[in-house]
Amino acid sequence: MIILRSHKELEVYKLAYKLAMDIYELSKTFPREERYSLTSQILNSSRSVPANIAEAFRKRRYAKAFVAKLSDSEGEAACPV
């Protein structure tokens, strides 16, 4: 049995956090006129994914709250196309 002490030990959290950092670096190359509209939305969404995973980890004892936070995370990660 594996005992996790922190959300930071979750592979999915590590991947989401790395992706958020990659998106942040990529956003630096976006056109200046997009910096406060599209870029802001992309950055907020990318940061929200690992944050919701962390919240889900903390609420894992409560099935409905756990699933709700994971659903929020998946919603933020979903492509709108």
Q: What is the CATH number of the domain that holds 51?
A: 1.20.1440.60
Share of the chain above pLDDT 90, in %: 59
Q: Indicate the pLDDT class of residue 14, thresholds 50, 70 and 90.
A: very high
Say if 35 falls within a structural domain: yes
Structure tokens at 52: 């919701």
Say if 38 falls within a structural domain: yes
Structural domain count of the chain: 1
Structure tokens at 41: 């939305």
pLDDT in tens, 60-73: 999 999 999 999 99
Say if 1 falls within a structural domain: no
Domain residues for the domain of 28 are 8-77
Cα–Cα distances in Å, from 48 out to 5, 29, 33, 56, 77?
21, 21, 23, 12, 9
Say if 42 falls within a structural domain: yes
Say if 18 falls within a structural domain: yes
- Position 4 scores a pLDDT of 86
38 has a pLDDT exceeding 50: yes
